[in-house]
């Protein structure tokens, strides 16, 4: 059996509005089996995911806050985050207020992040900046801004814009933040080659709904690279 090297980077994600309880249970079972970093589920499914994973110390329970548009009030985001933690979430992916950032209201953006960080009492907070809506200059600016907050990660995208994570954006963010923040590449990561390129560019986590496809492609790639096994003694004898 070939051990996955990429599984530890993956937030196994299911955020479709029609996800059923059965779908969430399967997601969690796959996460336990393959030892993913986390599952990322809708807020209404946090309790179920936490229950499914209560015997797993490996897999975190992640959910989204202010999703997908980010324009909820700070009070609502704080309430969502606090409720998610009460129900068992250990990681919070919050969408920043893109409009506030674009108009230069940086104090609102940083204040909102810090309020959520305070509300979750030490749980991991990832801030979704929606790179597909930002220029390179804006990506650099928000990366600098978030280094001054209590956030743990910058996350690229919600998956609800046309542009997803790109190698160029990951490299840009890494150049700015160094090792002060971690990076989650998310959206349009649909194959093993793309996943590897994100990690090589500096991503610490990958948010993807194509997890099982990526694992299959990884296994195929690793098998192709593996040296041919030496024939056993019995096999050598049978060839005489």
Compute the distance between CA of residue 87 and CA of residue 50 in angstroms, rounded to an integer. Answer: 7
Query: The domain spanning residue 193 has which CATH number?
Result: 3.20.20.70
- Compute the mean pLDDT over every residue in the chain, rounded to the nearest whole number: 94
Residue 233 lies in a domain: no
Domain of residue 189 covers: 7-226
Q: Is 215 contained in some domain?
A: yes
Quote the pTM value.
0.93
126, 184, 188, 204: the active-site residue: 184
Residue 2 lies in a domain: no
Is 194 among the domain residues?
A: yes
Q: Does residue 237 sit within a domain?
A: no
93 tagged catalytic: yes
pLDDT at 234 over 60: no
The full length of the chain comes to 240
Confidence of residue 226 (pLDDT cuts 50, 70, 90): confident
Q: Which of 77, 126, 155, 188 is catalytic?
A: 155
Per the structure, the count of domains in the chain is 1
For residues 110-137, give the mean pLDDT: 98
Per the domain annotation, does 156 fall within a domain? yes
Active-site pick, 11, 77, 93, 169: 93
Respond yes or no: is residue 155 known to be catalytic.
yes
Average pLDDT over residues 202-213: 98
pLDDT digits (tens, 9 = 90+) for 37-78: 999 999 999 999 999 999 998 999 999 999 999 999 999 999
Is residue 107, in this structure, part of any structural domain at all? yes
């Amino acid at each position: 059996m070939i051990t996955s090297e990429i599984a530890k980077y993956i937030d196994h994600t299911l955020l479709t509005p029609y996800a059923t309880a059965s779908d969430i249970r399967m997601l969690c079972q796959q996460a336990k089996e393959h030892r993913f970093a986390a599952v990322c589920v809708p807020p209404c499914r946090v309790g179920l995911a936490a229950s499914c994973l209560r015997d797993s110390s490996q897999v975190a329970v992640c959910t989204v806050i202010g999703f997908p548009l980010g324009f909820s009030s700070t009070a609502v985001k704080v309430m969502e985050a606090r409720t998610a933690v009460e129900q068992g979430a250990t990681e919070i992916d919050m969408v920043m207020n893109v409009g506030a950032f674009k108009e230069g209201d940086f104090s609102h953006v940083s204040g909102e992040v810090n309020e959520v960080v305070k509300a979750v009492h030490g749980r991991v907070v990832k801030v979704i900046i929606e790179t597909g809506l930002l220029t390179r200059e804006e990506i650099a600016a928000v990366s600098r801004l978030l280094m001054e907050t209590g956030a743990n990660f910058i996350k690229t995208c919600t998956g609800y814009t046309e542009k997803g994570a790109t190698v160029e954006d990951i490299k840009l963010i890494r150049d700015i933040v160094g090792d002060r923040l971690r990076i989650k590449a998310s959206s349009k990561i649909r194959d093993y080659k793309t996943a590897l390129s994100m990690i090589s560019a500096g991503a610490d986590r990958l948010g993807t709904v194509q997890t099982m496809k990526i694992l299959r492609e990884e296994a195929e790639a690793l098998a192709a690279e593996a040296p041919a096994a030496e024939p056993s003694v019995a096999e050598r004898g049978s060839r005489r």
